[in-house]
Structure formats: C-alpha cells, structure tokens
Amino acid sequence: MSKIKRHIFVCENIRDKSNSKQSCGRLGGIENREELKRRLRELGLSKNIRANKSGCLGACHHGPVAVVYPEGRWYGEIELDDIEEIIQKDLINNEVVKRLEIEDDY
C-alpha cells in the first residue's frame, strides 16, 4: 500500500439546533466529502489523496469548511459546485483556490 501524500479534512460537525453557531454538517459538509471521495476514486487519485471527515475545525462562521494538508490551506463556504475546482486546482496542481480561501484567524 502506498502512503497517502495529501489529505483534505472536511468538517461534518452537527451541532444541536439550539446552538447559535453554524454547523458544517447541516450546511453541506457531509455531501461535500462524499463528492470529494467519489471524484477522487473516479479520477484514480484516492490512493494518494484522502478525503476524511472531521469534527469541528473551529471556523464555523465560514462553513462548510475544509483544510488541505500538508499545506494547511483552509477553504470555506464550500458548495458542491466547488468540489471539482478544489480537486483540479489544489489537490492535483497545488494551487490555492483564492475565492474559497479562509485567510483570517477565524
């Protein structure tokens, strides 16, 4: 088995509805990770790039959120239509998807 070279962690945290913070899992985080996994498999990249679910990443007001490692690039307000761009630009070509990048300290 080859080593995984890159990871994208997608927040799937679901808070109680009474909590005032956003919840990435309710905003599409679960579907985003499922689509990432599907496309990575389809493109033959799942042996080197892994899409993992995570709990809260602490950037709730940017949700749904994902972080790419080892680079440590943070993306927010991700929609299903953004998944292909993240794969092609960042995960394949190591380019930042500027319009989705979270640059503040959240």
**C-beta atoms surrounding 45 within 10 Å:** 17
Strand, helix or coil at 2?
A: coil
Q: Which of 34, 26, 37 is nearest to 60 (CA)?
A: 26
**C-beta atoms surrounding 95 within 10 Å:** 12
Answer whether residue 2 shows pLDDT above 70.
Answer: yes
pTM (global) more than 0.85 = yes
Q: pLDDT tier at 20 (50, 70, 90 boundaries)?
A: confident
Domains and CATH numbers, the chain: 6-100 (3.40.30.10)
**pLDDT tens string 29-39:** 999 999 999 99
Once rounded to an integer, what is the mean pLDDT over residues 71-76? Answer: 96
